[in-house]
Structure 1
Amino acid sequence: MPTNWVPLPDGLTTPARELAQELRSLKDARGWTLADLGSRTHYARSSWERWLNGKRLVTRSALANLARAAEVDEAPLLGLWERAAGGAGPAEPAVPVPAEPPAAAATPPVPSQLPPDAPDFTGRTAEVERLAGALTATAGGPGSPAVATVTGGGGLGKTTLAVHAAHLVAHRFPDGRLYVDLRGADANPRHPADVLAAFLRDLGVPPREVPDDLEGRTARFRSEVSGRRLLILLDNARDTAQIRPLLPAAAGCAVLSTSRGRLSGLPGAHRLDLDLLPVQDARRLLASILGAERAAAEPAAVSAVTAGCAGLPLALRIAGARLAERPTWSIAGFAARLADRRRTLDELSVSDLAIRASFDLSYRYLLQAAASTGRVRRVDAAQVFRTAALVPASSFGTQEVAALSGAPAADVEAALDHLVDIHLLVGLEPGRYAFHDLIWSYAWERLEDAVPGAERDAAVRRLLYWYTRAADAAMVVIDPTPSSLPEPAPEPGVGEPPRFSAPEEAVAWFDQHAEALSAAVDAATGCGRADLAALIAIRMMAYAMTDLTFDWRGCLERALVVARQSGDISAEAWTVHRLGVCHGVWERSESCLARLQEALALHRRAGDGVGEAVALGNLASLYSQIRQGDRAIECGERALALWAGFPPEMGIKKSTPHVAIADVHLDGGRFEQAVVHYRRALDSLGTTRSSYTRAVALNNLGDAYRGLDRFEEAVASIEESLEVSTGAGIQYLQGDSLHTLGRTFHHFGRADSARDCFRQAMEIFEELGFQPGLARVRDNLARLDPAPPDAAAPNLPEPA
Structure 2
Amino acid sequence: MRLTMAEMALWPAIGAHYTPILRQRTFRRRGAAAGSGESRSGVRLVEAAFGILGATALRLDGVLDAGWESPKPKAMLAALLVAPGRTLPGDALVRWVWSQEQPRPTRTTATLDTYATRIRKLLKRLPVTATLRGHRGAYRLDTDRAAIDYFQFRDLVATAQRHFRDGRSAEAAHHADQALRLSRGRPLDDLRSAGALAWRTRFERDELIPAHTTHLNALIDLGRADEALVLLDDLQSEHQDSLALHKARLAVLHALERAEEASEYYLDVHRSLRTEGDPQAADHLRRHHESLITRAHSAPWTAPREYQPPRQLRFDVHNFVGRADQLSELNAHALDADGVPVRGIIVLEGMPGVGKTSLAVHWGHRVRDRFPDGDLFVDLHGHSGTPAATQASVIDELLLGLGEEPDTSAAPRARAAVLRRTLANRHTLVLLDNARNSDHVRELLPLLAECLVVVTSRNSLTALATKYNAQRIQVQPMTEAESTTLLGTRLGGRADAGLRAEVVRLCGGLPLVIAVVGQNIAEYRLRREHADLPPRRLLLELGIDADGDNSPQTLFTWSYRALPQAARRLFRLLGLHPGSEFSVSAAQSCWGRDEAETRECLATLVGAHLLERTDSLDRFRFHDLIGECANNLAHTDEPTELRHTATRRVLAFYLASATAAHHTLYPDSDAGPPFDLPAQVSPLTYADEDAARTWFATEHSTLMATITTAANTGNHDLAWRLPHAVSTYLEQLGYHEDYRQAMETAVTSANADGEEEAEASSLADLGRSHLTSGRLADAQRCLHQAMVFADASGNQRGQCAIRFHLGRIAMLVGDATTGVRLLGESLELAQAADDIEARRWTHYELGDALRVAGEPTKALLHLREAQQHAIAAGDDYALALVLAGISSVSLAHGEHTEAAAFGVAAVSTAESSRNTSAIVTTCTVLAEVRLTTGASAAAELLATRAVSLAERVHDVPVHARAAEVLGDVLAEQGRHAQARRTWLEADELYHRLGSTAGRHRIYTKIADLSH
Q: Structure 1 length normalisation: TM-score? A: 0.73
1:113 equivalent to 2:312? Answer: yes
1:191-270 to 2 correspondences below 5 Å: 191-192=390-391, 195-196=394-395, 199=398, 225-247=423-445, 253-265=451-463, 266=465, 268-270=469-471
Post-superposition Cα deviations, 1:215-264, rounded to whole Å, max 9, x if no partner, equal x9878866664543221212112223434443459997422111001122
**2:994 aligned partner:** none
**1:747 aligned partner:** 932
1:618·1:656 contact (CA, 8 Å) conserved in 2? no
1:381 equivalent to 2:582? Answer: no
1:349 equivalent to 2:534? Answer: no
Task: Give the root-mean-square deviation of aligned CA atoms.
Answer: 3.8
Give distance in 2, aligned partners of 1:721 and 1:463: 41
Please state how far the C-alpha of 1:463 moved relative to its aligned partner.
2.2
The DSSP-based 3-state class of the residue aligned with 1:424 is: coil
Post-superposition Cα deviations, 1:338-359, rounded to whole Å, max 9, x if no partner, equal 9544443332335343323311
**1:284 aligned partner:** 485
Please state how far the C-alpha of 1:771 moved relative to its aligned partner.
4.2
**2:93 aligned partner:** none
**1:21 aligned partner:** none
Please state how far the C-alpha of 1:473 moved relative to its aligned partner.
2.7
**1:9 aligned partner:** none
Give distance in 1, aligned partners of 2:446 and 2:337: 15
Amino acid paired to 1:749 = G
Please state how far the C-alpha of 1:163 moved relative to its aligned partner.
0.9
**2:624 aligned partner:** 437
Give distance in 2, aligned partners of 1:590 and 1:693: 26
**1:637 aligned partner:** 827
Worse-superposed segment, 451-460 or 750-759? 451-460
Please state how far the C-alpha of 1:506 moved relative to its aligned partner.
4.5
2:351·2:610 contact (CA, 8 Å) conserved in 1? yes
**1:539 aligned partner:** 725
Please state how far the C-alpha of 1:495 moved relative to its aligned partner.
0.8
2:333·2:471 contact (CA, 8 Å) conserved in 1? yes
Give distance in 2, aligned partners of 1:348 and 1:638: 68
Give distance in 2, aligned partners of 1:177 and 1:210: 27
**1:28 aligned partner:** none
Which protein shows a greater Rg? Answer: 1
Judged with a 3 Å threshold, the aligned counterparts in structure 2 of structure 1 residues 588 and 359 are, in CA distance, closer, same or farther, namely closer
**2:53 aligned partner:** none
1:698 equivalent to 2:896? Answer: no
1:166 equivalent to 2:367? Answer: no
The DSSP-based 3-state class of the residue aligned with 1:261 is: coil
1:308·1:339 contact (CA, 8 Å) conserved in 2? no
Give distance in 2, aligned partners of 1:261 and 1:178: 22
1:568 aligned residue (726, 750, 755): 755
Please state how far the C-alpha of 1:527 moved relative to its aligned partner.
4.8
Post-superposition Cα deviations, 1:392-437, rounded to whole Å, max 9, x if no partner, equal 3343333333223223345334423321221212333323333333
Judged with a 3 Å threshold, the aligned counterparts in structure 2 of structure 1 residues 298 and 202 are, in CA distance, closer, same or farther, namely closer
2:603 aligned residue (390, 396, 417): 417
Worse-superposed segment, 690-699 or 616-625? 616-625
Give distance in 1, aligned partners of 2:933 and 2:544: 72
Judged with a 3 Å threshold, the aligned counterparts in structure 2 of structure 1 residues 473 and 698 are, in CA distance, closer, same or farther, namely farther
1:778 equivalent to 2:968? Answer: no
The DSSP-based 3-state class of the residue aligned with 2:720 is: helix
2:472 aligned residue (258, 271, 281): 271
Please state how far the C-alpha of 1:305 moved relative to its aligned partner.
3.7
Q: Which runs of 5+ in 1 are unaligned?
A: 1-104, 324-328, 371-379, 645-649, 790-800
**1:392 aligned partner:** 578
1:533·1:562 contact (CA, 8 Å) conserved in 2? yes
Give distance in 1, aligned partners of 2:741 and 2:892: 40
**1:333 aligned partner:** 526
1:363 equivalent to 2:560? Answer: yes
Worse-superposed segment, 521-530 or 749-758? 521-530
Judged with a 3 Å threshold, the aligned counterparts in structure 2 of structure 1 residues 631 and 169 are, in CA distance, closer, same or farther, namely same
The DSSP-based 3-state class of the residue aligned with 1:550 is: helix
1:447-486 to 2 correspondences below 5 Å: 447-480=634-667, 482-483=669-670, 485-486=672-673
Please state how far the C-alpha of 1:686 moved relative to its aligned partner.
4.4
Please state how far the C-alpha of 1:172 moved relative to its aligned partner.
0.9
Judged with a 3 Å threshold, the aligned counterparts in structure 2 of structure 1 residues 354 and 584 are, in CA distance, closer, same or farther, namely closer
Judged with a 3 Å threshold, the aligned counterparts in structure 2 of structure 1 residues 158 and 668 are, in CA distance, closer, same or farther, namely same
Give distance in 2, aligned partners of 1:506 and 1:426: 25
Give distance in 1, aligned partners of 2:671 and 2:941: 44
Please state how far the C-alpha of 1:196 moved relative to its aligned partner.
4.5
Amino acid paired to 2:571 = F
Judged with a 3 Å threshold, the aligned counterparts in structure 2 of structure 1 residues 227 and 716 are, in CA distance, closer, same or farther, namely farther
Give distance in 1, aligned partners of 2:640 and 2:808: 48
Judged with a 3 Å threshold, the aligned counterparts in structure 2 of structure 1 residues 576 and 149 are, in CA distance, closer, same or farther, namely same
1:493 aligned residue (655, 680, 685): 680
Amino acid paired to 1:277 = M
1:764 aligned residue (949, 952, 963): 949
Give distance in 2, aligned partners of 1:286 and 1:149: 27
Give distance in 1, aligned partners of 2:849 and 2:507: 59
1:741·1:754 contact (CA, 8 Å) conserved in 2? yes
Give distance in 2, aligned partners of 1:741 and 1:506: 31
Amino acid paired to 2:543 = L
**1:124 aligned partner:** 323
Judged with a 3 Å threshold, the aligned counterparts in structure 2 of structure 1 residues 716 and 223 are, in CA distance, closer, same or farther, namely farther
Q: Structure 2 length normalisation: TM-score? A: 0.59
Amino acid paired to 1:401 = A
Judged with a 3 Å threshold, the aligned counterparts in structure 2 of structure 1 residues 714 and 420 are, in CA distance, closer, same or farther, namely farther
1:402 equivalent to 2:588? Answer: yes
The DSSP-based 3-state class of the residue aligned with 2:562 is: helix
Please state how far the C-alpha of 1:282 moved relative to its aligned partner.
2.9
Give distance in 2, aligned partners of 1:331 and 1:448: 22
Amino acid paired to 1:419 = L
Please state how far the C-alpha of 1:613 moved relative to its aligned partner.
4.3
2:671·2:724 contact (CA, 8 Å) conserved in 1? no
Give distance in 1, aligned partners of 2:505 and 2:623: 12
Please state how far the C-alpha of 1:122 moved relative to its aligned partner.
2.9
Post-superposition Cα deviations, 1:38-63, rounded to whole Å, max 9, x if no partner, equal xxxxxxxxxxxxxxxxxxxxxxxxxx
Give distance in 2, aligned partners of 1:207 and 1:348: 38
Give distance in 2, aligned partners of 1:217 and 1:705: 96
1:576·1:595 contact (CA, 8 Å) conserved in 2? yes
The DSSP-based 3-state class of the residue aligned with 1:232 is: strand
Please state how far the C-alpha of 1:132 moved relative to its aligned partner.
3.2
1:298 aligned residue (467, 471, 496): 496
Please state how far the C-alpha of 1:179 moved relative to its aligned partner.
2.3
Amino acid paired to 1:154 = P
Give distance in 1, aligned partners of 2:339 and 2:517: 44
Judged with a 3 Å threshold, the aligned counterparts in structure 2 of structure 1 residues 615 and 476 are, in CA distance, closer, same or farther, namely farther
2:888·2:925 contact (CA, 8 Å) conserved in 1? yes
**2:380 aligned partner:** 182
2:343 aligned residue (145, 148, 153): 145
Please state how far the C-alpha of 1:190 moved relative to its aligned partner.
3.6
Amino acid paired to 2:561 = R
Aligned residues: 658
Q: Which runs of 5+ in 2 are unaligned?
A: 1-303, 976-1011
Post-superposition Cα deviations, 1:633-669, rounded to whole Å, max 9, x if no partner, equal 522431342243xxxxx63443112212322343356
Judged with a 3 Å threshold, the aligned counterparts in structure 2 of structure 1 residues 724 and 345 are, in CA distance, closer, same or farther, namely same
Judged with a 3 Å threshold, the aligned counterparts in structure 2 of structure 1 residues 407 and 709 are, in CA distance, closer, same or farther, namely farther
Post-superposition Cα deviations, 1:327-346, rounded to whole Å, max 9, x if no partner, equal xx587436546954444333
1:480·1:690 contact (CA, 8 Å) conserved in 2? no
Amino acid paired to 2:555 = S
Judged with a 3 Å threshold, the aligned counterparts in structure 2 of structure 1 residues 248 and 552 are, in CA distance, closer, same or farther, namely same
**1:11 aligned partner:** none
Give distance in 1, aligned partners of 2:752 and 2:410: 78
